A and B are shown apart, each in its own frame.
Chain A
């Protein structure tokens, strides 16, 4: 890949990083559009759907995974680095500015008042997240529409075991619980 092409790769992911709110999955339509516009992934036997599936089943932020992936496929390690830096840089700059502002004004009564309204609302949003992740785990479907025929008892067993463990001994860290649930998944879905 030539230098201008690498620059295009960087700028495309910078744009994607700058204009997606609310996490990595919101990026998929913009990534699709960029892949079409720039003719990426034309020389591989894999489609964007494969890339999305792999990015979902590897650790780390989805946005970073998919950027690294496309960059790597298009231009090797330099491409992977530029695409990843591109997708991360807008967040980095915006958050630095906000954190600076926050440090200067966090004691101001208006900022305090605004935050006192935001905190309970965030708790409400987290309740929604908690509900939709639970439904997704147990039914493999979104919150709505919900069908009992989709109910997965194996997922419920894993859910119950992990819940019990986390309540029984609060010292068990989240990483151990994640590894344990992965093991239970392989055991229940693969062997039972």
Chain B
């Protein structure tokens, strides 16, 4: 490859086995819902492997949140496609699903015993506290990537208030952010005298 991979174009250097492996790791270590996974995916794909920059990662969350299905699966499919097209999305999704699948199939034979393991419950209480830290670190890092002006500050507060009060479902909160972005774009165009 002579040209460096441009953002948005498939990067053939990422191997399908790497995609599968990274997402299997993420699938195996995500506890407590899809949000916990955001911290892991950002660490692997933004910081460690530079598959995405921070803004692209925010786009990924927006898409994963506003489409049906589990956030983890949505993120895997999206990122896999972005990096290696259809087969990339296939192997990333297979990777994120397989650890759960294997664990549950095995567990279903020992369900009675598992239910009574008190230390599993203790471990999960510990993990809940650890996951909270991971999410705080990831959210602060993503916050730093947003342009620092009053407009994005207003939009952050807008998103926070709508989400914290649970007034409308999250996909609609994201959609309204998009509409506001579009309207702001229109008004700035009008001010500078250009047509759309």
Q: Which residues of A contact B (CB under 8 A)?
A: 17-25, 46, 50, 53-65, 68-69, 72-73, 77, 80, 84, 87-88, 90-92, 94-96, 98-100, 102-103, 106-107, 109-110, 113-134, 136-138, 140, 143, 154-156, 158-159, 162-163, 166, 173-175, 177-178, 180-186, 188-190
Contacts and interface: CB of A to CB of B under 8 A. Distances in A.
A96 B185 CA distance: 28
Contacts of B176: 121
A22 B118 contact: no
A154 B14 CA distance: 42
Interface string B5-16: 000100000000
Contact of B78 (A65, A98, A166): A98
Given A64-B97, A127-B139, A130-B136, A91 B70 contact: yes
A183 B125 CA distance: 10
A120 B171 CA distance: 14
A81 to B, nearest CB: 8
A72 B71 CA distance: 23
B66 A60 contact: no
Contact of B70 (A24, A94, A99, A156): A24
A80 B77 CA distance: 21
B4 interface: no
Interface string B142-168: 110010000111011111111110000
A98 B108 CA distance: 35
Chain B interface, >50% SS class: helix
Contact of B135 (A46, A107, A133): A133
Interface in B33-70: 33-40, 43, 55, 58-59, 61-70
Contact of A58 (B67, B107, B146): B107
A17 to B, nearest CB: 5
A75 to B, nearest CB: 12
Give the top 3 A-B pairs by smallest Cβ distance, nearest first: A117-B181, A185-B126, A124-B159
Interface in B71-107: 71-74, 77-78, 81-82, 86, 89, 93, 96-97, 99-101, 103-105, 107
